[in-house]
Amino acid sequence: MRDIAIIGGGASGLVAAITAARQGARVTVFERQSRIGKKILVTGNGRCNMTNINMKREHFHTASQKDCFLPIQHKDVEMTLDFFKSLGIERLVENTKVYPASEQASSVLDVMRMEIERLDINVRVDTKVIKLRPEGTKWQVWTETQEKYTFDRVIVATGGLAAPQLGCDETGYGLLKKLGHHQVPNFPTIVHIVSPTKYCKMMKGMRFKSEVSILVEDKVCRIERGEVLFTEDGLSGPPIFLLSRIAAESFAKKQSCKIHMDFMPDHSKEDLVAMIYERIGQGNHKNIEELFVGWLNKRAIMAIIKQADVGSPLAPCENLEYEMVEALAQSMKQLIFEVHGTRGFKFAQATVGGITLDEVNLETMESLKVQGLYLTGEVLDVDGDCGGYNLQWAWSTGFVAGEAATL
């Protein structure tokens, strides 16, 4: 019977533990916090967006040339949902996102805890691992309190740097770098974007469906549609989360970065010019601000008028010259926000970068540097888009490593 140590009792570590124990291994989970799976509890705003039925390679990002989709192809969404069903979780599919039917992240952790108990997995909480050393065919694991344990195999599932308040820090990377692994630089992702542009404050609290493009050094890098939330210090919401890895990386590289927001993605600028003229025709007694009431959110109107630079919003709309109408239409199609990075790891849901995939066998998740060492989840240089992709990476790599480590 193999003795397996799992460092980190998060999403990928717990799945690896259950998988290995179901195959007959004797498993010990080391978790530095007072409880396992704390991060799982906050996922999906407490509902746990556990995966996505639209599972495609394009939703995952890595600096490696390797095919990071391999573990997800081996242990796919259906297999994952079957695994959770075997533990008691029924699925709820919303658009393509999958949640537990209870809509409680706590139930995902609860059923895993029940299985961990049933399988008699040894869970050591409040135990931080500070050193790993191979010795012959065995592994030695040291804890912060200088206790030393011996195992046949070690799975490192220490996570990334997102949400440090939930127990993540650099120690996982440190353990692996001492064993010869290399780290791709880290940035926060799935996080608010910070903008000093005054329109954010003007539109604070507003939610609006729009098309958002992110430009680095004036080149469009990615375009997303969805509901944007405007905050005191920047932008948030699903499309912004999808763009945030680019914002974080460009900020770290000191590149110029902007967001262009199209409030009317289904209309051309020419359409909008015609629509503005039609409204002037219907309401030539109105001022410029009033002209837009009922068409656009009131908080957006002022920002659009300001960027168009058409003078006082209180001026009569019938005095608008053609170039001014064009400028207003242009503002509606392209409100410009300067980007100054993101709110950082504290508010991020995932980590860009980590231990390079070049040093891992993706068929087994075993290290190519040292035998008997396996790596799973966010500690690796893979980040998924917002929508259940990061947990799927954690689950799939956990299944693969848990299975391979018992062989």
Ligand X SMILES: Cc1cc2nc3c(=O)[nH]c(=O)nc-3n(C[C@H](O)[C@H](O)[C@H](O)COP(=O)(O)OP(=O)(O)OC[C@H]3O[C@@H](n4cnc5c(N)ncnc54)[C@H](O)[C@@H]3O)c2cc1C
Where along the sequence are the contacts to ligand X (CB under 6 A)? Answer: 7-13, 30-33, 38-39, 42-44, 48-49, 128-129, 157-159, 162-163, 167-168, 171-172, 349-350, 377-379, 388-391, 394
Q: Which is nearer to ligand X, 39 or 333 (CB)?
A: 39
* Residues with Cβ within 8 Å of residue 227, at least 6 apart in sequence: 207, 208, 209, 237, 238, 239
CB of 83 to ligand X, least distance (A): 15
CB of 266 to ligand X, least distance (A): 29
Q: Which is nearer to ligand X, 32 or 113 (CB)?
A: 32
Q: Which is nearer to ligand X, 330 or 361 (CB)?
A: 361
* Residues with Cβ within 8 Å of residue 136, at least 6 apart in sequence: none
CB of 253 to ligand X, least distance (A): 24
Decide if 162 contacts 351 (C-beta within 8 A).
yes
CB of 49 to ligand X, least distance (A): 3
Q: Which is nearer to ligand X, 155 or 328 (CB)?
A: 155
Give residue 331's region: left, alpha or beta (phi > 0; psi -120 to 50).
alpha
CB of 227 to ligand X, least distance (A): 17
Q: How many CB atoms lie within 10 A of CB 121?
A: 23
Decide if 3 contacts 20 (C-beta within 8 A).
no
Q: What are phi and psi of 226, to 5 degrees?
A: 155, -170
Q: Which is nearer to ligand X, 133 or 299 (CB)?
A: 133
Q: Which is nearer to ligand X, 9 or 310 (CB)?
A: 9
Q: Which is nearer to ligand X, 203 or 350 (CB)?
A: 350
Q: Which is nearer to ligand X, 212 or 394 (CB)?
A: 394
Decide if 327 contacts 300 (C-beta within 8 A).
no
Residue 191 has which token pair? 């996080």
Cα separation of 243 and 356, whole Å? Answer: 22
Q: Which residue is nearest to ligand X (CB)?
A: 10
Q: Which is nearer to ligand X, 10 or 341 (CB)?
A: 10
CB of 350 to ligand X, least distance (A): 5
289: amino acid identity, one letter: E
CB of 105 to ligand X, least distance (A): 8
Residue 353 has which token pair? 């970068």
Can you list the positions of beta strands (E) in 311-349? 335-338
Q: Which is nearer to ligand X, 48 or 194 (CB)?
A: 48
Decide if 184 contacts 161 (C-beta within 8 A).
no
Q: Which is nearer to ligand X, 18 or 162 (CB)?
A: 162
CB of 69 to ligand X, least distance (A): 15
Q: Is 322 helix (H, G, I), strand (E, B) or coil?
A: helix
Handedness of CA 140, 142, 146, 147 (dihedral sign): negative
**Helix-helix angle 11-22:389-405, to 10 degrees:** 30
Cα separation of 258 and 217, whole Å? Answer: 8
CB of 168 to ligand X, least distance (A): 5
Q: Residue 39: which of 348, 344, 403, 384 has the closest Cα? A: 348
* Residues with Cβ within 8 Å of residue 116, at least 6 apart in sequence: 14, 17, 18, 21, 29, 36, 123
Residue 5 has which token pair? 């140590």
Question: Which helix (DSSP H) or strand (DSSP E) does residue 11 occupy?
Answer: helix 11-22
CB of 39 to ligand X, least distance (A): 4
CB of 396 to ligand X, least distance (A): 11
Cα separation of 19 and 153, whole Å? Answer: 14
